[in-house]
Amino acid sequence: MTHGSDNWDNLLDPLDPSLRSELIRYGEFVDACYKAFDLDPNSKRHCNCKYGRTQLLDKVGLQNSGYEITKYIYASADINFPIGVSPACMGRWVGYIAVSTDSSVRKLGRRDVIVAFRGTVTRSEWLANFMSSLTPARLDPHNPRPDVKVESGFLNLYTSTDESCKFGLGSCREQLLSEISRLISKYGSEEEMSITLAGHSMGSSLAMLLAYDIGELELNKPINGGVEIPITVFSYGGPRVGNHGFRERCEELGVKVLRVVNVSDPITKLPGMFFNENFTVLGGDNCYTHVGVELPLESLNGKSFSCVHDLDTYLGLLRCPTKKVKKGELMERACGFFKRQKLESWSWQHMATLLQYPRF
C-alpha cells in the first residue's frame, strides 16, 4: 500500500502513519546525497562524494538502514556556457543505487532497490534546469513515441556524457540502466522485488525519467514466470518533467508517483507555471503536466526560498505536519511568492544570484 498499489487511496488525508514513515525514510536516503556531497573547491573530491560506497550510509547516520550501496551515479550536461562563465563541475556525483540486505528483505518481504538523487548544485545543472523547452524523449529505440515529450534540460542531464569525468563512465542513463539491469538479473528470478526512486527538486526529475525509462524498456517485466517489479517514485519538491503524453505513458506503464509538495514552494509550479495541465488552449502536447498523486503540505515559513524549498523543510513537515491546504490556494501562494521576491527575469543567472543556495 505504501508503494502506491492503489495510488495511495485513503492514505493521504489524513496521512497514514506507515506512509509517513516511508516518506521520511526515503527522504533521508536523498538527504544523504547532500550530506555526502563535497562542496570544498580545494578538495580532490570537489563536486563528488566525500566517502566511499561502503562508508557513506554510516557517515551520514544511516548505518542501520538495512541497505548497501552498490553504485554511485554521475551526470553531466552537454551545454554551451555563456562567455566568461567557467564550466566547473560538469560531470559530477548526483546520487547512488542501493539494495536492501538479506536481513532487511526478511522485514520488508521483498528485495528493494533504491535510487536516490540530490538536487541542483553546479552551474551546468542550473543551465540545464532553465532550458525549459519540451522535446520528444525518444528513449525507446524501437518506438520513439514523438508525442511523449519532456523538458530538454532534464533530458540533457540524463543522457549526456562527459568524458572528462574520471569517476562515472557513460551517461547518467547508461550507468543507471546497467546497474538496475544487473540487480534485476541477480535477484528478480528468485525474489519479489521493488524499485523505489527518490529525489529532491532536480533529482526528482531524474527519478521520473528513470522510472519512465525502466517501464518503457520493460526492464521490470517478469523473469522466468515471476511477477512484474513495481516502480515507485517519491518526489520531494519536484518540478514538472513532461507533457500530457508523458504523464499518460507513465500511467500506462504502471509507474506510481507520489509528489510531496510544500505549497509555498515555487519550484513545484515550474516549468509551465501558466501553460500546464490547467491550460487547454495549446493542447496537452505543448503544456507541462505533473505526474502522479500530490501530497500538499503547509509550509513552516513561506518567506524565504531556501526555507520553502529545502529538503530539510520537507522532512520537517513530514515529521511535524501542520494544517492541510486547499488545492485552490496553490497557485495563489506561488504568485504571491513571486510578487514578494520581485522576480522579473527567470534567467539561470538571476536565480543563482537570488538563491545563493546549493540545495535545489
Q: Write out the catalytic residue numbers.
A: 201, 265, 309
SS3 state of residue 75: strand
Edge to edge, the sheet with strand 149-151 lists 134-136, 149-151, 242-243, 288-289
Within 13 Å of residue 349, how many CA atoms lie on the same side as its CB?
A: 6
Rounded to 5 degrees, what are φ and ψ at 10? 65, 15
Rg, Å, the chain Cα set:
19
140's grid cell: 525507446
Q: Which of 237, 243, 246, 242 is nearest to 198 (CA)?
A: 237
Residue 305 contacts residue 292 (beta carbons within 8 Å): no
49's grid cell: 562524494
CA distances from 106 to 1, 111, 283 (A): 18, 9, 48
* Total residue length of the chain: 360
205's grid cell: 526529475
What is the C-alpha to C-alpha distance for residues 307 and 117, in angstroms, rounded to an integer?
A: 20
204's grid cell: 526528482
At 154, the amino acid letter reads: F
24's grid cell: 521520511
Residue 318 contacts residue 298 (beta carbons within 8 Å): no
Q: To 10 degrees, what angle do helices 202-216 and 152-159 make?
A: 70
Residue carrying C-alpha cell 544511516: 62
266's grid cell: 515555487
Cis preceding-peptide flag for 14 (omega within 30 of 0): yes
